[in-house]
Amino acid sequence: MEAGSALKSFVEYTSEHHFPLENIPFGTFKNPETNETHCCTRIGDFVIDLAVLHDLGHFSGDHLKGENVFNHEFLNTFMAAGRPAWTEARVTIQNLFAEGSSFASDEDGKSKTMFAFDKVEMTLPVNIKDYTDFYSSKHHAYNVGCMIRGPDNALQPNYTYLPVGYHGRSSSIVLSGTDVRRPKGQVSADKKVPTWSDCKRLDFELEMGAYVGVGNELGKPIKISNSSDHIFGLSLLNDWSARDIQVWEYVPLGPFNAKNFASTVSPWIITLEALEPFKIAHQEQDPEPLPYLKEENPSTYNIDLHVGIQSESMDAPHEVCKSNFKHLYWNVNQQLTHHAVTGCNMSTGDFLGSGTISGPEKSERGCLLELSWAGKEKISLGNDEERVFLKDGDSVNMTGVCHGEGYTIGFGDCVGKVLPALDDKDYF
């Protein structure tokens, strides 16, 4: 499918809508008629129950005609079926919902499967078994390194040789719309003696996450040449960070409590096939990657990313950052390949965070730590309010879009609101 070939659906939507027939995202929701949780997709402003579509006999191809892989509360069973099944599902849905299809006049079938998005409850789409967060934006790593070590030593020697990452907590990954409690913990102004405190430097991190669809056996690495076959799709990710807690705890083993209290994901997973028209050449890597990380035609995706902050006194978010997925120094294929190079067994549902996605310009810095330069520069919210870090009541909204000719591929919203810290009596 070419970027300029806008498809026609019997479902009405504008060319700016995030979910045209070219997209076909995957998620899970509670069917309002049965209250059962099923796998779903979305076209325009309608959520489509794929489990019911399957029961009605619409998935009759070689890879989906047997077990109803959509009749589950998570996407994992469908994801584990592999790329042939993913492609078959995508093509089947596009044909069913195309303008002039026989399903367009099937009023009974449509009433059983199509539900207005604003009337349904979305659910966490994947049973995430493991979560690894990378540090793959060179601009972000350089900026943070300058704050800590100065520009001459901003990047550690290993940065341009491997995708740096750490293991996070899958248990605290939450769906867009879930409120996030301001954490408490140990902080230290002099980096010698800590005090007990609310987090005073609560931050967002603009990231994207990749979901592993098909894993590998323990002891058998994933080759860079077929790493994309293991990736089901991408979603938005806000990796909330308690910067003052992080500064005290991260030496010598990296982030811990500063990042384990919440990570917010968007409800929709966008497949690599939907993103194919927006594939672009990856930035040059110097030095050349080692052979196991070197791709024949290295590529990434041109995805515009936006972050807005909305205080309790505002009617809408004010944009504080505009970045792009292409700014990642290490792409998703390299992240996955490096993760599994030791023979680490990746599993269906594993989640890989990209790390904060920052670009070369100040407006493209993907977190408040960079935007405020560690709290030294205030950021306007477009009214009389300013921020250096998040305040209680602030909502953070992340969006991502790819612009085709005549259509848009979008990721929906990734939203979270900051709640005040608990009282000390809840801790001791």
Residues making up the annotated binding site for Ca(2+) are 133, 205, 207, 239
Residue 225 corresponds to which amino acid? S
381 with 311: CB under 8 angstroms?
yes
| Cα(343)–Cα(123) distance, integer angstroms | 32
57 with 25: CB under 8 angstroms?
no
* Binding residue numbers for Mg(2+): 239, 259, 263
288 with 242: CB under 8 angstroms?
no
342 with 117: CB under 8 angstroms?
no
Structure-block tokens of residue 402 = 């790819």
Residue among 124, 210, 135 at smallest CA distance from 173: 124
Q: Which residues is 281 bridged to in the sheet? A: 299
**What is each CA distance from 375 to 143, 200, 250, 379, in whole angstroms?**
13, 11, 19, 10
Burial class (CB in 10 A: 0-12, 13-18, 19+), 123: middle
- Which residue's structure tokens are 């005040």? 420
Phi, psi of 310 (to 5 degrees): -125, 115
231 with 374: CB under 8 angstroms?
no
- Reply yes or no: is the peptide bond before residue 317 cis, omega within 30 of 0: no
Parallel/antiparallel/unpaired status of strands 180-181 and 408-419:
parallel
Helix (H) or strand (E) holding 411: strand 408-419
Helix (H) or strand (E) holding 249: helix 243-249
Reported as half-sphere exposure (CB side, CA atoms, 13 A), residue 257 has a value of: 13
E strand spans, 262-350: 263-265, 270-271, 279-281, 299-301, 304-310, 318-324
140 is catalytic: yes
* Binding residue numbers: 133, 135, 149, 205, 207, 239, 246, 250, 259, 263, 356
Annotated active-site residue in 58, 140, 282, 327:
140
Helix (H, G, I), strand (E, B) or coil at 320: strand
Phi, psi of 401 (to 5 degrees): -145, 150
DSSP assignment, residue 145?
Answer: H
Which residues are catalytically annotated?
140
